[in-house]
A and B are shown apart, each in its own frame.
Chain A
Amino acid sequence: MELIAIAFGAIFVNNVVLKQFYGLCPFLGVSTKKSSALSMGAAVTFVITLSAIIAHLLYTLVLEPYDITYLSTIVFILVIASFVQLVEMFIKRFSAPLYSALGVYLPLITTNCAVLGVAIDATVNKTKIFGDLDPTVLHVAIYAFGISIGYALVIFLFSAIREEMDAYPIKKNWEGIPIALITAFIMAMIFVGFGGIV
């Protein structure tokens, strides 16, 4: 039950994009096509989940015992950077079309706030997420996976909406980012409703 609550909260209530504003650059930049949104979602899910687990292990086994938690930010960003490098190599090797679709944003997955944000929230700021519960690796994994699914879900829905939107005329100054933001606003309003369920 606890794990379900964590997962539900992570996917809907505390939706990483619409509520916590993590990972907005790729959200607005990449999500113009459903296919690339899905790929991005998959890549981010992989990176977020694994880096959160690694961050949690590093934090509880190294940083906390040696009382150097102030180094968290540096340590985590390096871990994440290495990971992103891996994913980038992986995609480049196995899916050239996907690689070209993600374009400039793929290297910037390193600087995707969602990845570092989740890692930090699950460790340094764990009371914000888990309350009094001292999270185990399983809790962190579920949380990070939930967050990623929430990210993938929103980014996919959003790209679907934007694809449809392309068919309609929009005033010049509202094109692109502005209309995307208004769309995000409406989606965020809808997601606020999930808060009532928990």
Chain B
Amino acid sequence: MRHLKIVFTLMIVVVLSSVGVFAVEQITTPIIEQAQFEAENAALFEVFPALESSDDLTPEEGLDLEGTTITQVIEIDGKGYIYTAQFQGFQSQIKYMIGVDLEGTITGYQTLEQGDTPGYGAKIADPLFSNQFAGEALSSVGAGEFDGIAGATITTGGFTGSIQKLADFHDATFAGGGGGGEETDPREEITSEGASFTDVTGDYDISGTPITKVEMVNDDEAVIYHVTFEGWQPDASYIIAFDLETHDVLGFRVIEHNETTGIGSLIAEDDFMAQFDGLAHNDALNGNIDSVSGATAPVTLSGLRDSLNEVTLFHQTYFGGGESDEEKLERLIGETFPSENSELREDVTADYPANESILNIFDIYNDDAERIGVVYYAEVLGNSYGDVADIKLLLVVEEGSIMSDVILFDDNETPSIFELNNLLNYHIAHYLTFLAPDEAALSAAYPDAVSFDSVYGDYPYSADILNVFEAKDESDNVLGYVYYAVASGFGGDITFTWGVDNAGITKQLSIVSHGESWNNAYPYSEDPVAGIFPNTSWLDQFEETDLSSINVGDIDDVAGVSTTTGGMKEAFAYIIEYHETNVGGAN
């Protein structure tokens, strides 16, 4: 019985104690873990102020840390590294943490654990010791350039050895790009060997730009920007040097990226980076860079182009470079209408009514003094409300067409489509260069008339109607109208002329140009000749009839050529409506 009681009492005590301990453990464990997590990360932030909570703080694996005193390496993508190291002090293991940025500058130091002599070695944890490192180069601290602790030679010696090994490790593993041994500074690669670099970031306002650092090369020969950008993956970074005389690019090196190997990674390849050597300022501005090596990485390249543009603009703001708007205008016009002779441009702005968007209007002539186009130099609003800045652009209209091209001064901007439309309307209203078919095509549509005058300027412009002519007899009486219009066919646009007299009776339909193969409809056509487009009996039903009596909806498509006939029907219907509401209604 006695033994039983002993065992029983022991059991009760052990069980009750276990329950108590377990209960407390349940309560405190999460709190302890949280506190430890916070304490550890607080140290990280302390030594690396640029850290953000979103940064990946997973320690690197697979590094050979043997004999380096380093216990942990955290690589913060695009920012730097945090090392934790431990060495034997005077009477304790001393653990410290040190942050190093991408340039090898120490961002912060903190002693994490130490149990050395208070008043001596323990001073390694004092701010006086800890605060001396931030801003120093790791390499120089590694070489022993720091203030030791007076009276604590062992502790100081232990630290010196540890930081030296750490600096060597850093140099071999990260600073040199992995190869170990002597690697040249990428900044020297893109400028000149042995160049001096002065950090002048503080002199410029880099907020809101992707630039993280600005350095002058050999005082004032060139400037290097350290830039981060987001490609397919975030946190890519590069350096780019601009010559301060020509403002062209001297060179470009990707420092870090996480892009997909074989795709986005092309930006770090020598072939790719080589194209930046001597890249013209404006090419950098406009992102005129090629993807080489056969890889296409549109997302990466677009990110890079955007950041190049921002960097180049930043450079222009502080250092100048780039062309003036006048130079640019001159160049863009020259590129659009290649000619050696700039005399062939005539500023005709004064001849036309003022428009708030239009800065200049230029007529462009060829060597035979024939006008070959007009260029509107305008400043319009951006596409979105946020984009209210004026966007400079050229609207180029070649003679004989409505609109040939819109050339933006800055490729990255999107002009408001309404503003563009306004410009076009201005062009249409004031600069009558509507398309005109051959005289023969007009006559074919209105055989009775002898002369034709474009009156399209008096009516609303429509993309489907290229021109409207008054058909006149010898004594200039208006007999009717000829529409020069476009329909979409199976083989492309079909242009045609269609006459209608003052009474609304249609004259002839004449096809001006087409790309159709109407013959497909032949088996269904009774007349083999009429089966050949444009001479078809199907079209005949629109000739010599009262315009108002034509109900396009009732007319069937021709089987086999339904796309062509459908497109024609749409165009006819539009002309009928346009005529009745605008031209005919004016009568």
Contact = CB atoms under 8 A, between A and B. Distances in A.
Interface of A: 13-14, 19, 70-71, 74, 127-129, 131-132, 192, 195-196, 198
Given A70-B21, A71-B21, A74-B17, A131 B93 contact: yes
A187 to B, nearest CB: 16
A14 B91 contact: yes
B21 A74 contact: yes
B88 interface: yes
Contacts, number: 30
B154 interface: yes
Interface in B490-518: none
Contact of A131 (B29, B86, B115, B117): B86
Contacts of A198: 88, 154
A132 B86 contact: yes
Nearest to B28: A70
B232 interface: no
B366 interface: no
B154 A195 contact: yes
Interface in B14-30: 17, 21, 25, 29
Contacts of B17: 74
A130 to B, nearest CB: 8
Contacts of A127: 86, 93, 95, 113
B17 to A, nearest CB: 7
Given A13-B91, A19-B91, A198-B88, 4 more contacts: A74-B17, A127-B113, A192-B117, A195-B90
B71 interface: yes
B122 to A, nearest CB: 13
Contacts of B29: 70
Contacts of B115: 128
Contacts of A196: 90, 154
A198 B93 CA distance: 12
B92 interface: yes
Nearest to B92: A128
Nearest to B86: A131
A129 B117 CA distance: 16
Q: Which range holds the interface residue count of chain B? A: 10 to 19
Nearest to B93: A131
A128 B446 CA distance: 106
Contacts of B154: 195-196, 198
Contacts of B90: 195-196
A128 B115 CA distance: 9
Nearest to A196: B154
Nearest to B85: A132
A70 B21 CA distance: 9
A121 to B, nearest CB: 12
Contacts of B95: 127
Pick the most buried of A70, A127, A128, A132: most chain B CB atoms within 10 A of its CB.
A132
Interface in B63-122: 71, 86, 88, 90-93, 95, 113, 115, 117
27 contacts: A13-B91, A14-B91, A19-B91, A70-B21, A70-B25, A70-B29, A71-B21, A74-B17, A74-B21, A127-B86, A127-B95, A127-B113, A128-B92, A128-B93, A128-B115, A131-B86, A131-B88, A131-B93, A132-B71, A132-B86, A192-B117, A195-B90, A195-B91, A195-B154, A196-B90, A196-B154, A198-B154
Q: Which 4 A-B pairs have the closest CB atoms?
A: A131-B93, A195-B91, A195-B90, A132-B71
A82 to B, nearest CB: 13
A166 to B, nearest CB: 33
A104 B154 CA distance: 42
Nearest to B69: A132
Contacts of B93: 127-129, 131
A196 B154 CA distance: 7
A41 to B, nearest CB: 23
Nearest to B116: A195
Contacts of B91: 13-14, 19, 195
Interface in B217-243: none
Contacts of B71: 132
A90 B340 CA distance: 114
A19 B91 CA distance: 9
Interface string B160-198: 000000000000000000000000000000000000000
A133 to B, nearest CB: 10
Contacts of A132: 71, 86
A196 B157 CA distance: 11
A132 B71 CA distance: 7
A128 B91 CA distance: 10
A13 B92 CA distance: 10
A192 B154 CA distance: 13
Which of A70, A74, A129 has the largest number of chain B CB atoms within 10 A? A70
Contacts of B92: 128
A57 B64 CA distance: 29
Contacts of A13: 91
A128 B86 CA distance: 11
Nearest to A13: B91
A123 to B, nearest CB: 16
Max chain B Cβ within 10 angstroms of own Cβ: one of A19, A74, A131, A198: A131
A39 to B, nearest CB: 30
A77 B71 CA distance: 32
A19 B117 CA distance: 11
A132 B66 CA distance: 11
A132 B115 CA distance: 16
A16 B91 CA distance: 13
Contacts of B21: 70-71, 74
Contacts of A74: 17, 21
A115 B513 CA distance: 106
Nearest to A197: B154
Contacts of B86: 127, 131-132
A74 B16 CA distance: 13
A2 to B, nearest CB: 12
A71 B21 CA distance: 8
A74 to B, nearest CB: 7
A188 to B, nearest CB: 12
A34 to B, nearest CB: 29
A195 B157 CA distance: 13
A71 B14 CA distance: 12
B570 to A, nearest CB: 77
